Structure 1
Amino acid sequence: MKKILLLVSCCLFALTSCEVDNYDGPNASIHGSILDEQTGELVGSDMENGNAIKVREQGFSKPADQTWYITNTGEYRNNMVFAATYDVRFENGNFYPFEIKDFVVKAGDNTYDFKVIPYIRIKNSKIEKNGNVITATFSLEAGKPEVKLKEIQVFAFSDMWVGNNVKLALNGGTNKRTFSPTVAINTTETYTLTIDLDENKDVLKYSKNYYFRIGALADVSGVGTVRYNYAPLAVIKL
């Protein structure tokens, strides 16, 4: 009899445990874009260690951070979200940080575009192949007057994830320019960066499409980690 009672107790405990863990799954999805509030253009970043959306679901005594990842094009999608009210914040990116309280995600599909102020806008960008040289020309505009320029660079890689964290190590040094000390951004100046293909035969050695992207790194105080701002990528067959 004692063995039977012990067996029944174990079964009841197992059933109770299963019932406690039987939570409903995510019942919502959300997607949208990160847009420059002035131009309406997508604000692209790095796919790896780039911009991200940090959220905390309300209603918990110790809510944990969740991350909704943003693609390098400046778009995001999360298909596994709980319908709830969240606190949303942006930090350590390539635009001014901010926070949204009481952000509501409803059951089903949600669309929301976030409007931001990028540290630097890359304007009039053009990347072309002229003979054996890749030439990038562009101008810059500061998101706010206090923004200074730290670095500009044209990146190259074998696919669309090209950027500061996913790039080929190029030879020659003409694809990058560093400003030390940092300088104020002059909107009338046209910047030129180049990649000598003869000097990079060991790097850009295949006859195929390569992906190029202009980046500019700002110097801004009191905003946390500052990441590159980018122009749209260009695809060139070599």
Structure 2
Amino acid sequence: MRKQFIYLSLAATLFCGACKKDNYEAPDAGISGNIVDALTGKNVPQQTLNGAKIRLFQTDFRNPEPINSAIKADGSYANTFIFSGNYKVVAEGPFFYKDTLNLNIKGNVQADLKVTPYMEVTCELVSKTSTSITVRVKANRTPNNTQKIARVAVVAGTTTGVDINNYYNVNGTSNGRVLENTEAIADAVVEAKTYEFTLANLKPGTSYYVRGAARTINNGNFYNYASMLQISTNP
């Protein structure tokens, strides 16, 4: 019995020693801000899942691995779980972004990143019924952008996470997305047109989040989005 007690005491001592050795300080800093259109000063809407991201490189270390943070649908971002230090901040998404920020981050820092979006997309409600929503979508490239316009679309879902890949879908009918391929159409024609899309086979009396969307042919196949609309179908 005495031997067992000694063994248990020794094991507890070693365990506690290991705890003290691995008791590193927790992250003590954070960064938040917005992706801002350099021309308009407005936030650039984004795709949350598999979309734009903020990349943080802690330059206090050689060859640092990036710390990636998703950007929210409204164009804002936040990472409140990093260590104090010097960072290079880079944005990646459906926009032209040439400059990088070099920041000394201590505590919580606010930093907006100015970009030029590939496209400006607008979406407005035309009409709605108990089972459908009709909107108008217009897509234009920003000045000096020569990328080909490849898609114009509208998507709808029951959460704010709606995007070109995540939308209301019943029985595989894709009724929460209407998409038009414009690769064979001249860009001037696409930009001059207002696209009217109807989302059909929806549920009566249900609130949907609706976004116009469009993309150019770009590395990453990133989409640009209109601001989110919240529309309820009629009872």
TM-score if structure 2 supplies the norm length?
A: 0.80
Report if the CA contact (8 A) 1:90-1:98 is conserved: no
User: Which residues in structure 2 correspond to 1:53-72 (within 5 Å)?
Assistant: 53-72=54-73
Matches within 5 A, 1:1-238: 17-91=18-92, 93-98=93-98, 100=100, 102-106=102-106, 108-123=107-122, 125-130=123-128, 134-143=133-142, 144-169=144-169, 175-181=178-184, 183-185=186-188, 189-195=192-198, 197=200, 200=201, 204-220=202-218, 224-238=219-233
TM-aligned CA deviation for residue 181 of structure 1: 3.1
Q: CA RMSD in A?
A: 3.1
Q: Is the 8 A contact 1:140 1:185 kept in 2?
A: no
Residues in 2 aligned to 1:34 and 1:217: alpha-carbon distance in whole angstroms: 18
2:164 maps to amino acid? N
Stretches of structure 2 lacking an aligned partner (at least 5 in a row): 1-7
Q: Which amino acid aligns with 1:74?
A: G
- SS of structure 2 residue aligned to 1:22: coil
Partner Cα separation in structure 2 for residue 205 and residue 173 of structure 1: 11
> How far apart are residue 145 of structure 1 and its match?
3.0
Instruction: Kindly provide the amino acid, as one letter, of the partner of residue 129 in structure 1.
Output: S
Sequence identity of aligned pairs in percent?
25
Q: 1:149 to 1:185 in 2, by over 3 A?
A: farther
What CA distance in whole angstroms lies between the structure 2 residues aligned with 1:100 and 1:193?
Answer: 39
CA spacing shift, 1:60–1:47, aligned 2, 3 Å: same
Please state how far the C-alpha of 1:58 moved relative to its aligned partner. Answer: 1.6
The 1:89/1:15 distance shift into structure 2, 3 A limit, reads: same
User: Would the aligned equivalents of 2:53 and 2:71 in 1 still touch at CA under 8 Å?
Assistant: yes
| Distance in 2 separating the partners of 1:103 and 1:185 | 41
Contact 1:174 1:193 in 2 (8 A): no
1:33-87 CA distance string (max 9 Å, x none): 1111111111111111111111121222342221122111111112212111112
Displacement of 1:184: 2.4
Cα distance in 2, alignment partners of residues 43 and 17 from structure 1: 48
Paired residue secondary structure (1:181): coil
**CA distance 1:172–1:236, change in 2 (3 Å):** closer
Aligned residue pairs, count: 222
